[in-house]
């Protein structure tokens, strides 16, 4: 049978697809953009929930896209053999739950609602499901958090490092890919939402300092004091949410992940290659 991957061009998909192909099972990946077949992956053009082409019998469905779209498609799809379903959510479902910014609270609400909808859709299809909630994801140069900071520093030769007492736990995208594969083979992980963070918890300035040290060119550290960040929070509303979390711990409890899936995420040791996006096939 075949594994279907939704979001195969994402940073987690970048690491997962080669691992699936190496496992020997046929792999299909759904993309909004037409892509040539290659490296053992058959790319299908389509999108959830209403533009999915005909599919063969599936052994598993893996999605790194919006949970609600996946749930809506599953609710109407005709599936044989009740494929295993693995999807990613985000720790933002919890960390932004009580944000002072209404838009961030809405993000958290939508994530939790998507998890509930996915569980319900899988129950109707008779599919076992597992949801992974990663923390800050890095590793393929495709993230929208650390990579833009690293690239901006390379352009300007300045690296802002904000004051903050909160802990961060960045997780490598390949560790999430390995957790996905482990969940596929773990019946005990069915029906669970599992947090996944990196193998190391760092103070916010420590995390930024490691990113800076990983860059291929020298940059000047620019320390941003707490009073300046408070001023920015008042004067620039879009930054209120992120700046308000600088002193909060945004971490994951990996105990269930390690007990069930035997995954030990790596510590945060970035290198310069992690801030360069992979080349796309023509």
Please report, rounded to a whole number, the percentage of residues in the chain having pLDDT higher than 90: 83
CA-based nearest residue to 149, from 190, 201, 208, 202: 208
Domain chopping of the chain, boundaries = 2-275
Q: Does residue 136 register a pLDDT over 50?
A: yes
Burial of 263 (0-12, 13-18, 19+ CB in 10 A): buried
Contact between 275 and 205 (Cβ < 8 Å): no
Q: How confident is the model at residue 280 (pLDDT cuts 50, 70, 90)?
A: low
Q: Does residue 281 register a pLDDT over 80?
A: no
Burial of 41 (0-12, 13-18, 19+ CB in 10 A): buried
Encoded tokens for 94: 């919890």
Determine whether domain 2-275 maps to CATH 1.10.260.40: no
Q: What is the DSSP string of 58-107?
A: EEEEEE-S-HHHHHHHHHH---SS--EEEEE--THHHHTTT-SSHHHHHH
- Which pairing describes strands 167-168 and 202-203: parallel, antiparallel, or unpaired? antiparallel
Q: How confident is the model at residue 282 (pLDDT cuts 50, 70, 90)?
A: very low
Q: How confident is the model at residue 187 (pLDDT cuts 50, 70, 90)?
A: very high
Question: What is the residue whose two structure tokens read 């949970």?
Answer: 67
Encoded tokens for 173: 């995208």
| 237-257 residue pLDDT tens | 888 888 888 999 999 999 999
| 95-113 residue pLDDT tens | 999 888 898 999 999 999 9
Burial 148-158 (b: 16+ CB within 10 A, else e): ebbeebeeeee
Mean pLDDT of the 28-35 span? 89
Entry pTM: 0.95
């Amino acid at each position: 049978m075949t594994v279907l991957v939704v979001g195969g061009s994402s940073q987690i998909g970048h690491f997962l697809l080669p691992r699936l192909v190496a496992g020997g099972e046929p792999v299909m990946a759904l993309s909004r953009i037409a892509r040539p077949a290659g490296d053992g992956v058959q790319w299908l053009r389509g999108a959830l929930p209403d533009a999915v082409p005909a599919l063969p019998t599936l052994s598993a469905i893996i999605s790194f896209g919006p949970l609600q779209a996946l749930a809506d498609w599953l609710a109407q799809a005709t599936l044989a053999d009740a494929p295993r379903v693995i999807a990613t959510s985000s720790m933002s479902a919890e960390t932004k739950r009580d944000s002072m910014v209404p838009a961030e609270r809405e993000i958290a609400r939508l994530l939790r609602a998507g998890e509930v909808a996915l569980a319900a859709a899988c129950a109707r299809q008779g599919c076992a499901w597992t949801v992974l909630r990663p923390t800050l994801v890095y590793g393929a140069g495709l993230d929208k958090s650390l990579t833009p900071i690293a690239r901006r520093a390379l352009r300007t030769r300045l690296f802002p490092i904000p004051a903050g007492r909160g802990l961060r736990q960045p997780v490598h995208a390949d560790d999430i890919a390995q957790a996905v594969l482990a969940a596929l083979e773990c019946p005990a992980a069915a029906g669970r939402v599992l947090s996944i963070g990196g193998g190391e918890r760092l103070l916010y300035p420590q995390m930024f300092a490691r990113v800076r040290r990983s860059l291929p060119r020298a940059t000047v550290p620019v320390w941003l004091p707490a009073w300046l960040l408070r001023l920015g929070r008042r004067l620039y509303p879009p930054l209120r949410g992120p700046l308000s979390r600088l002193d909060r711990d945004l971490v994951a409890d990996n105990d269930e992940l390690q007990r069930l899936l035997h995954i030990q995420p790596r510590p945060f040791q970035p290198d310069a290659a992690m801030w360069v996006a992979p080349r796309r096939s023509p």
